[in-house]
Amino acid sequence: VAPIRTQVAIVGAGPAGLVLAHLLHLRGIESVVLEARSRGYLEQRVRAGVLEAPTVQLLCDAGVGERLQRESLRHRGISLRFDRTDHHLDFVALTGRSITVYGQQEVVKDLIAARLAAGLPLHFEVADVRLRGIETDEPEVAFTDGDGVHRILAAPVIAGCDGFHGVCRPQIPAGRLTVFERDYPFAWLGILAKAAPAQEEVTYAHSDRGFALASMRTAEMARLYLQVPPDEPLEDWPDGRIWDELNARLAVEGSAPLNVGPILERGVTTMRSFVVEPMRHGQLFLAGDAAHIVPPTGAKGMNLAVADVAVLAEAVERFFATGDSALLDGYSVRCLRRVWRAEHFSWWMTSMLHLAPGADAFERRLQLSQLRYVTSSEAAATSLAENYVGLPYGS
């Protein structure tokens, strides 16, 4: 079979790969997207749901924000609960910007629909993806397509958008990347429930029983999380125990219990901070979770993936328009500034809110002091708010 030739080969059709493909299309640059899973799987995969203001702006400017604007929930801020009291942070008052709740799979659906409607190449259920010659000017991606045919995709630029467990990053020779990593001694048990959210906005709870988070996807669908040990078996959490524990951790004086409904989806997610530097090797450019992971407490994962590819699209455009690789050469440094800000913010939110195994009274008092500070000082609240709503691109 003759090689497929394109300008950018994109491995992975998560938010990073799909947004990149779309931004390149708007700039008149051809790409081919290769995805290991089926369309149905991608469109059902429940993951992140909080969009920063710059992410919403980018999707709307790129012409894929129509359903987002119609169906998403716009939130003025978040609540932090501790000492059995609710403290609301009003991000709009503090920063002039809001956050938007819209499921990651909805973003993915909108982008897949836009790509297929434009008749652009997106191959689902590919296998055996291997990169060749990434240190040369003529790299290739070998893969087996959904019909079992072995194919070669030749492209001067390869974007590794295949997530943390993808195949691109491991194909970079040992010693060429520096890895920064922290594991956390807890995980999140997350559920999606067909139940009206009891809180109007995303609510984080610091409690002596451990952390809990009450979020939502729609006005009828709640997304709820409990801190659990990292290797927690799901079988130990029948529905009744999940609801009881959520109520115990989220309760504040005078609050009504959560609305209970069928649990449609459940899973345990481990927590990790991870960054590789640089985010590039030869003609392979890593973006999103392929290059970095944050614990989900700061709601940054999907937003960082989008921010990376905004930088990459601009650099690729310059390269193909003029042959100038200066922006491509600066890609990693430019992205890593935002990545490390999000790494710090996510680590800080996680450390402030979770009950670490063996934490003593000293550490718990430090957490409570920090929580009281961010909910009583306008300066501290503004710092949290501007990180949460998303710092402007390029800052």
Binding residues for ligand FAD, rule: CB under 6 A, are: 11-17, 34-37, 42, 47-49, 104, 126, 129, 161-163, 166-167, 267, 269, 288-289, 296, 299-302, 305
Catalytic residue among 204, 206, 278, 295: 204
The sign of the dihedral angle between the CA atoms of 334, 304, 17, 29 is: negative
Please indicate whether residue 300 is annotated as part of the active site. yes
Q: How far is the CB of 307 from ligand FAD (least distance, A)?
A: 11
Residue partners of 179: CB distance under 8 A and separation at least 6 = 274, 275, 276
Q: How far is the CB of 23 from ligand FAD (least distance, A)?
A: 13
Burial bucket for residue 186 (CB in 10 Å: 0-12, 13-18, 19+): buried
Residue closer to ligand FAD, measured from CB, 104 or 350? 104
Residue closer to ligand FAD, measured from CB, 16 or 205? 16
User: What does DSSP say about strands 150-154 and 4-5: parallel, antiparallel, or unpaired?
Assistant: parallel
Determine contact, residues 272/184, Cβ cutoff 8 Å.
yes
Catalytic residue among 75, 87, 206, 292: 75
Chain-centroid distance of CA 280 in Å reads: 20
- State how far the alpha carbon of 383 is from the alpha carbons of 31, 55, 379, in Å: 39, 19, 6
Q: How far is the CB of 163 from ligand FAD (least distance, A)?
A: 3
Please indicate whether residue 292 is annotated as part of the active site. no
Residue partners of 236: CB distance under 8 A and separation at least 6 = none
Catalytic residue among 54, 197, 278, 296: 296
The sign of the dihedral angle between the CA atoms of 71, 72, 74, 77 is: positive
Nearest one of 393, 280, 282, 321 to 24, comparing CA atoms: 321
Q: How far is the CB of 222 from ligand FAD (least distance, A)?
A: 13
Q: How far is the CB of 156 from ligand FAD (least distance, A)?
A: 20
Residue closer to ligand FAD, measured from CB, 62 or 368? 62
Residue closer to ligand FAD, measured from CB, 337 or 365? 337
Determine contact, residues 63/27, Cβ cutoff 8 Å.
no
Residue closer to ligand FAD, measured from CB, 177 or 368? 177
Please indicate whether residue 204 is annotated as part of the active site. yes
Catalytic residue among 197, 300, 331, 354: 300
- Token couple for 395: 């800052």
* Catalytic residue positions, numbered: 75, 204, 296, 300, 388
